[in-house]
């Protein structure tokens, strides 16, 4: 009986001591959204390369909309639908397909357009 109690006591101690609680911000730091200065080369180009250019680049981009260069990305927003599309607003074709940009990235794109599409 003493051996059984000792065994359960040791197992309980091991199990309890192996449990822990991870807080993402403590492990990786707090992610910040720095949209203080948004330019194509400084911020937007990376967003396009990560989320858009797989489909919207090359000789025959999806839906005829290219986002692989500064000029193409500006032209993609010529009618103002670009921000509605990435924000997945009502009446717009949601992009990227199968996901959504972070609010920080959406805000950066809107800020970039509102500032007149600065390149550098």
At 108 the pLDDT is: 94
Sheet strands (E) in the chain: none
**Domain-wise residue ranges, the chain:** 40-114
d(CA 83, CA 77): 8
| Mean predicted lDDT score pLDDT of the chain | 84
Asked if 105 and 33 count as a contact pair (C-beta separation under 8 A), the reply is no
Mean pLDDT of 69-75: 93
Q: The whole model's pTM is what?
A: 0.70
5-50, pLDDT tens digit by residue? Answer: 777 777 677 666 665 666 666 777 767 888 888 999 999 999 999 9
């Amino acid at each position: 009986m003493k051996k059984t109690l000792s065994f359960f006591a040791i197992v309980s101690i091991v199990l309890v001591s192996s449990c822990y609680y991870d807080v993402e911000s403590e492990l990786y730091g707090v992610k910040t959204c720095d949209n203080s200065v948004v330019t194509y080369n400084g911020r937007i180009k990376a967003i396009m390369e990560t989320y858009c250019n797989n489909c919207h680049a090359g000789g025959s981009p999806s839906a005829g909309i290219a986002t692989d260069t500064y000029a193409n990305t500006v032209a993609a927003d010529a009618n103002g639908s670009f921000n509605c599309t990435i924000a997945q607003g009502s009446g717009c074709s949601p992009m990227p397909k199968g996901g959504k940009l972070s609010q920080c990235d959406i805000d950066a794109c809107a800020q970039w357009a509102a500032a007149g599409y600065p390149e550098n």
